[in-house]
């Protein structure tokens, strides 16, 4: 595809937007409401979330994970602690995340420090996963170079035979982004989009509006 074709691509937004009074004073409640509305609208994988991390010297990386929890404590996802994001979070325990729900013309951004979940929380989630997914988590050396697909399938079969689905691997578990900033974006006509930002202030939040 030629660069000029990409440059001409444009979608006009025309939904009602996000008024200050509708945003309220609680960004977690608003994010939960938006997520429920996205689920009700039948959006495919509504919990798909881009998570950006960085090394100690600020070299960034980003990937899509699945949001597995969202409450007053923060946004939760799971991964291998020795994956690239796990190693970067060990060096630099901060992250930025974004959930984009294009059919509803909405986006939520979350920024803040990151902590590991308590092992008991990771254990509970691991055992709730389908058996095949548990075996994959136990057998895959995530982000490491492998010789080929055959190696992955061999590792999986060996892990299955060893009963790996019965116990969470020590090197796999959850992280929680502790929100310091949460921003809500809503598409509007003529690219004059709504952007409402909440910034943590003590035990509460300060709300302001950003130019698009």
Question: Residue 185 annotated as binding?
Answer: yes
44 is in an annotated binding site: no
Task: Name residue 158's beta-bridge partners.
Answer: none
- Would you say 196 is a known binding-site residue? no
Which positions ≥6 away from 143 have C-beta within 8 Å? 80, 82, 83, 84, 87
- Tell me how far apart the alpha carbons of residues 143 and 139 are, in angstroms, rounded to a whole number: 12
Residue 178 assigned as binding residue: no
Question: Which of left, alpha, beta for 202 (phi over 0: left; psi -120 to 50: alpha)?
Answer: left
Is 184 part of any known ligand binding site?
Answer: no
For 104-167, the DSSP string reads GTEEEEEEEEEEEPPHHHHHHHHHHS-HHHHHHHHH--TTS--S-HHHHHHHHHHHHHTTGGGS
Tell whether 84 is in a known binding site. yes
Q: Is 147 annotated as a binding residue?
A: no
142 belongs to an annotated ligand binding site: yes
192 annotated ligand-binding residue: yes
Task: Tell me whether residue 66 is annotated as binding.
Answer: yes
CA atoms of 70 and 47, how far apart (whole Å):
10
Annotated binding residue 89? no
Strand partners, 54: 60
Catalytic (active-site) positions: 191
Contact indicator for 137, 160 with CB cutoff of 8 Å: no
Q: How many CB atoms lie within 10 A of CB 80?
A: 20
Annotated ligand binding at 200? The verdict is: no
Q: What is the CB-side half-sphere exposure of residue 20 using CA atoms within 13 A?
A: 5
Strand duo 106-116 + 69-71: pairing: unpaired
Known binding residues = 63-68, 78-79, 84-85, 107, 125, 129, 142-143, 185, 191-193, 195
Residue ranges for the known binding site for FMN are 63-68, 78-79, 84-85, 107, 142-143, 185, 195
């Amino acid at each position: 595809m030629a660069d000029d074709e990409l440059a001409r691509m444009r979608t006009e937004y025309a939904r009602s937007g996000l008024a200050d009074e509708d945003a309220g004073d609680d960004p977690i409640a608003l994010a939960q409401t938006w997520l429920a509305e996205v689920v009700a609208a039948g959006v495919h994988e509504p919990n798909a979330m881009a998570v950006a991390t960085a090394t100690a010297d600020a070299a960034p990386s980003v990937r899509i994970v699945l949001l597995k929890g969202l409450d007053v404590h923060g946004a939760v996802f799971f991964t291998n602690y020795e994956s690239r994001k796990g190693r970067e979070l060990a060096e630099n325990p901060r992250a930025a995340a974004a959930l984009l729900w294009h059919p509803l013309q909405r986006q939520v951004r979350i920024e803040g420090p990151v902590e590991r979940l308590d092992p008991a929380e990771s254990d509970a989630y691991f055992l709730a996963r389908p058996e095949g997914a548990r075996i994959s988590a136990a057998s895959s050396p995530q982000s490491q170079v492998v010789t080929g697909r055959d190696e992955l399938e061999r590792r999986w079969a060996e892990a299955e035979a060893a009963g790996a689905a019965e116990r969470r691997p020590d090197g796999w578990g959850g992280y929680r982004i502790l929100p310091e900033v949460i921003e809500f974006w809503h598409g509007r006509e003529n690219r004059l989009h709504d952007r409402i930002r909440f910034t943590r202030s003590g035990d509460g939040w300060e709300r302001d509006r950003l130019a698009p």
